[in-house]
Amino acid sequence: MDDVRHDWSREELATLFALPFADLIFQAQTIHRRHFAPNEVQISTLLSIKTGGCPEDCGYCSQSASHETGLKASKLMDVSAVVADAKNAKQAGATRFCMGAAWRSPKDKDLDAVCEMVSEVKSLGMETCVTLGMLTPQQASKLRDAGLDYYNHNIDTSPEYYEQIITTRTFQDRLDTLEAVRAAGIHVCSGGIVGMGENEADRIGMIHALCTLPQHPESVPINMLMRVEGTKLADAESINALDFVRTIAVARIAMPKSFVRLSAGREYMSDEAQALCFLAGANSIFYGEKLLTTPNPEAHKDRQLLARLGITAMVP
């Protein structure tokens, strides 16, 4: 049965959000089992290869130059240091290594260094992913030639709510980069953040924008806002755990073959909330004690939780 659709309406997604919780989870889990092993998760590790000083004004981001968070800007890491971190991540069980740089868009000389990082990490037998801001088609092609597997560029929220979060680039700018990445033949990683003051209609709008793309992102990270002192959203009201699980479930139903990543915010979640997210169809996590600049559960806690749930790491 082919349940992959690109013609979802917002009304259909709203109907899913409104289902009784057990019915929604049952539907999401049924679809999940149709396309994935039910008790496996894909393990990724995320490294900040260039931290802070970003000229964008994303309201959630500790790395924005617009925010006084006490974070010191750093230069791009040396290739050898990145490769050493990738080796450690692989030994800890990660199969995908993600590298993030706080740029609006990369300069060509910096892109050359990132391409070398991609090639070296790829040679370790790991999947590679980078997030570098906006890309031109030429830059996307260069990353492809270096062996890049995934490019992350989140749309963050709905088109309607976007200007409340970011004013230095448009929602269409996000889509243009995704189009350049897709045209270059690189897998797309794109999701969003919930708990930024948006309402359910905005969560529907975010998923709608992703699931109506000509090709669904291969990875869809769903982040819970990490409230950082000094950012615009430091005092945002936290999202209810069950509303977060509903967002995971609807993303799974709307994008059946995508990896749905339980991403930032797990530090705030109970084991029970994370278990519900896995039940709702999440099948990817970031592994390691830091996500760029914010905390993540310690690796041994993740190992214990996955063992208790009978979940094993996916082998690519």
Q: Is 277 a catalytic residue?
A: no
Contact 280, 25 (CB under 8 A): yes
Marked catalytic residue, from 169, 174, 189, 266: 189
Q: Is 58 a catalytic residue?
A: yes
2's CB contacts (< 8 A; 6+ apart) are none
**Residue 207 structure tokens:** 């998923």
Q: Is 98 a catalytic residue?
A: yes
Marked catalytic residue, from 96, 203, 261, 266: 261
By residue count, the chain amounts to 316
Residue-wise DSSP of 243-276: HHHHHHHHHHHHSTTSEEEE-TTGGGS-HHHHHH
Marked catalytic residue, from 98, 115, 211, 277: 98
Q: Is 129 a catalytic residue?
A: yes
Contact 247, 200 (CB under 8 A): no
Place of tokens 């450690």: 88
Marked catalytic residue, from 58, 115, 211, 277: 58
Q: How many CB atoms lie within 10 A of CB 235?
A: 9
- Give the C-alpha separation, 78 to 232, whole Å: 32
Q: How far is CA 61 from CA 65, 87, 155, in A?
A: 9, 28, 14
Contact 175, 155 (CB under 8 A): yes
Q: Is 261 a catalytic residue?
A: yes
- The set of catalytic residues is 54, 58, 61, 98, 129, 189, 261
